[in-house]
Amino acid sequence: MKKNYFSILFAALMLFVAMPVSAEVKSMADLYGKYKFTATITPTEAGQEYTHLWKSECEVIITKGANGNVGSVTGLLGAEATQSVSKIDLTNNHFDVINPNPNNYGLFTPYPDAVGVTDPTLEDLQLYTMEYHYNPETKEITIPDFSIAGLSWPAPDYVLTANVLANVTNVKMELIEAEVIVIPEIAGEWTYTPYYADNDSTIFKEFTMNVVATDDTNKNWDVTFSFEGYGEFTLPGTFDGLEFNIPYDSLYLDVENKIRFGKKADKASSFSFTYNTKTLMYQNDAFYIYKEETDTVIRVQRLRGGSIKREDPNAYKWDGTYEVSVKYNEDYDEADGVEFPKNFDMVVVESNGSYVVNKFLGYDCSFAFTPSENGKSATIDLKGYYGFVWLTSLGEINGDYAYYILTDVNGQSTSLTVTLNEDGSLSIDDFSVSYHLWMADTNKAIASMSKVSASKFEYDWDGEYTLKATVEAEGEYPAEFNVVVEATENGYIIKEFMNNDVYTLNQGNMMLNANGKTASIALTKYYGYCFVGGSYPDYVTLNDKEGNATSLNLVYNDGVITMDDFTVNAFNWDTNESSKLATYSNVVLTKKNADNAIEKNVVETNAVEGIFDLLGRKLDAITVPGLYIVNGKKVLVK
């Protein structure tokens, strides 16, 4: 009898020990980690030639998502592409991937002739939502049966054809190693700005959140909301390192007028954000504002696609124009006649809280630029939307589509690390340019760049300029006149142009949108017109060289600005009639009273004191002319 008791006790003890240490799933972050993937893959006859693309056993990584997504899945069926998790349903224990074929219709190969996953009915690959079902106790994941399908658009009609290439069943993912989640602190004042603000009955367009810790775990916070015209209120919030959630019930902005948050009749909801960086979180769901009336509830506003941001005075601002220098440039294919430059501009712009590189190696492009948590480095993602980052299209060659793409030193679409140095310069990983064939899905490295450095410049556009140009005009229009640019807290404003006070004429709207050494003037200000002279009803408008209200580009270099050709038109407000008065070409603006000895280009950084050459070597004094970093500022000594 004692033996039986002992056996039962021992079995119970072993069962207790075998239970997972952290079984409860409270957020997507609790599922981050490395998984062993297994499945039964049954190819069809049409799929025999594609079996090399997928694996029935492999490792899958689930981790943090990008740009507001709650997670990402890499390695499903051995695919290199990364799926983005759109949402997690904690009640029904599954998370969803709305687009399981992120690589332009293909999880394995992109369009055209894509190979991707779909539901068994072979519906449109883009519309299929893949559900990952998890066990909240063991974290084991299963996926309902699905198919692998091929899509093609054969010439000459390019009509879509689809075929099932394989059926996938018995999908199971077992957690091998959980990812350790470090919960950062989020204290401080955050400002919410929506990307879309629906309806004309606008209650507010932004608000602030003062976040204060209630313990030392970084998990629990008090959040004080401030709405202009509506006072303040404080709510408790929780943070798990991924999602910042502030629930509420019957939250009224205006009790007397019965204006509240919620969804129609449901007064309970939450403010929820996904953590991206220490200064940015993305809005998870739209915020709805309703007004309760006697017999109904009216929605007066919806705000969606927004984010909350906080200022970090010590953070490096990554946006701007950088002058990139390549020490070693090797051309692998001289026969192609293309020589990539050793010196070029890299332009980084801020986009909805993130960064994008939109000029590199002389090409207009667009790829992600993600700063690290410590602000001392950043990552350039070379996968891009289509699985790679193209610099330029070469068109159709031998029946395939060809591109020059940016790749790592091994010719692969992985990533590049950019490191911020103490002297304010940047170091960029060695990289290559590859020749990419779309349908063949092949890369061939054609050039490599190593020992790559970059310097960021913040040009001071503020000041008085003399504009000189070649003029073709009916009547007398000056080939030389003053231009005055003034810096404000909202950017640069052109106050004087063609010897007129255009600041007053344009109601303060003639903005110079400067980013480093490039800038633009939007010509659609103030009811669609940019006025540079005249008065009601007969005005003089500034237009592009074709006479249209688009924009003008400017480039700053050593105190001299070159500007796009432009025209000025006579415009009658009452009749809406316009006629060309003058055409300006070869436009150059020279800054007055510029320092001819040293051209100051301020580097925005936390640089150390001292004098450095461009290789980062500290000097005791400047003995010869050249470019130097002096106390964080780049100077040219002539």
Coil, strand or helix at 514: strand
- pLDDT at position 625, please? 55
- Residue 3 domain-assigned (yes or no): no
- Residue 112 domain-assigned (yes or no): yes
- pLDDT at position 199, please? 67
The last residue of a domain, from among 406, 435, 453: 453
- The radius of gyration of the chain from alpha carbons, rounded to an integer in Å, stands at 30
Residues 171 and 54 in one domain: yes
- pLDDT at position 492, please? 83
With contact defined as beta carbons under 8 Å apart, do 562 and 436 qualify? no
DSSP assigned state of 527: H
- Residue 92 domain-assigned (yes or no): yes
- pLDDT at position 526, please? 64
Phi-psi region of 467 (alpha: psi -120 to 50; beta: other; left: phi over 0): beta
State which residues of the chain have pLDDT below 70.
1-23, 199-202, 352-353, 458, 474-475, 489-490, 507-510, 513-516, 525-526, 594-610, 612-629, 631-638
Residues 111 and 164 in one domain: yes
Q: How many domains does the chain have?
A: 5
Residues 61 and 34 in one domain: yes
Residues 483 and 514 in one domain: yes
Spatial separation of the C-alpha atoms in residues 88 and 139, rounded to whole Å: 14
Residues 377 and 277 in one domain: no
C-alpha distances in Å from residue 497, one per residue of 44, 480, 501, 540, 559: 71, 11, 7, 11, 18
Percent of the chain with pLDDT over 70: 86
Residues 172 and 249 in one domain: no
Residues 211 and 151 in one domain: no
Residues 263 and 332 in one domain: no
Whether the bond between 112 and the residue before it is cis, its omega within 30 degrees of 0, is yes
Residues 448 and 503 in one domain: no
Spatial separation of the C-alpha atoms in residues 431 and 397, rounded to whole Å: 25
Residues 492 and 577 in one domain: yes
Spatial separation of the C-alpha atoms in residues 617 and 326, rounded to whole Å: 18
Structural domain harbouring 625: 608-637
Take residue 549 and report the two structure tokens written for it.
């209200």
Residues 374 and 432 in one domain: yes
The last residue of a domain, from among 300, 330, 352: 300
- pLDDT at position 609, please? 61
Spatial separation of the C-alpha atoms in residues 322 and 71, rounded to whole Å: 32
